[in-house]
Amino acid sequence: MVDRAKPGEQTRTALPGPRQPSLADVAGLAGVSHMTVSRVVNESGPVRPETRERVLAAVQELGYRPNTAARALVTGRSGTLGVVALESNLYGPASTLYGIENAAREAGYGVAICSVTRPGRTSIGDAVESLRRQAVEGIVVIAPHVTAGRALAAAPSDIPLVAVGGGEAAPVPVISVDQYDGARRATEHLLGLGHRTVWHLAGPEDWLEARDRERGWRETLERRGLRVPAVVRGDWSPRSGYEAGRALVGKRGLKAVFSANDQMALGLLRAFTEAGIRVPEDVHVAGFDDVPEAEYFTPPLTTVRQDFIEVGRRTFGLLEERMAGGDAHARHLVPAELVVRESTTPR
């Protein structure tokens, strides 16, 4: 078949580039058959250890890269994992995606990412189906949203699937940071500074992480028999934190605030500064996430750190277990760590 230019298009002559080393080149350098090289690179058959070492040395010397499509035909495996991610620039979801990519890459897998703008049942279902058509071996759904968690109930059962977040009711293996315990730690820390209660700047109600952080704060106060102030709610953004801070100014007994994320805490600090409220002299403030900028806030922010690299590692491990026929209802929690900085310096 001859490719023809469409009307108005110019034809282009392909310029020759450097030829990529082939399987036959590796076989020639190693002094073995091309079938032996195929068995080594595809891990598809027995090869003597000394022969394997010779082939791998030739692969490294030539810079040979196996053809993934050809490998899939030989092994029945694509070497690719799929990730369904919420289209977001928020630190938590973005860092979770990075952690998963990093773990998969270290294990030799490629990653195909399908982003959704709204985490509803249809959009997540369409994303999973799109990844299945790409012959991925397993799929991770980053599901911090309530509707995303519900959408997992309709996920197909014929492909291994793991959720990051997704809630207790998710019908698939779930990995998550212990949001509840992180909130408990932050609240206990503030109470340990001598405060009679702690106010809470919460995240959106339809985010599972916001719900768990709010519950950790609330139940910590209730266990101590302390007053639970009315929640002030934001949308994760610094602007919403700023507006919440302005609403909190003048509240009776306002001495300590736990913000559900660091970005809202940033806006809160700005509002307090404008109102002449000093942190930490007048009010103590703690956040959640430990964004890279948190230690450069004014003052540096006490916060709860999430280990996203560990989340990625455990997510990949859980998916490997599921691909091998492991427990479809496994649950794993990654501990959260309290990082104390100047915003909660004892007075």
Q: Is the dihedral of CA 270, 274, 280, 284 positive or negative?
A: negative
Q: What pLDDT was estimated at residue 226?
A: 97
Region 202-231 average pLDDT: 96
CATH of the domain at 152: 3.40.50.2300
Co-location of 200 and 283 in the same domain: yes
> pLDDT class for 3, splitting at 50, 70, 90?
very low
Residue 155: how many CB atoms within 10 A of its CB? 20
Q: Which domain holds residue 50?
A: 20-54+61-66
Region 175-186 average pLDDT: 96
Q: Is the pLDDT of residue 29 over 80?
A: yes
CA 110 vs. chain centroid, Å, equals: 16
* Angle of CA points 209, 168, 263, to nearest 5°: 5
- For residues 24 and 54, the model is more confident at 54
Q: Is the pLDDT of residue 12 over 60?
A: no
Co-location of 217 and 251 in the same domain: yes
Co-location of 312 and 170 in the same domain: yes
pLDDT digits (tens, 9 = 90+) for 228-267: 999 999 999 999 999 999 999 989 899 999 999 999 999 9
Q: What pLDDT was estimated at residue 71?
A: 52
* φ, ψ (nearest 5 deg) of residue 231: -70, 140
**For the chain, how are helix, strand and coil distributed in percent, rounded to 5?**
45, 15, 40
Instruction: Please state, in angstroms and as integers, the Cα–Cα distance from residue 307 to each residue in 100, 135, 182, 209, 311, following that order.
Output: 12, 30, 12, 15, 6
Co-location of 240 and 160 in the same domain: no
Q: What's the mean pLDDT when you consider all of the chain?
A: 85
pLDDT digits (tens, 9 = 90+) for 104-151: 888 888 889 888 887 666 788 888 888 888 888 899 998 788 887 777
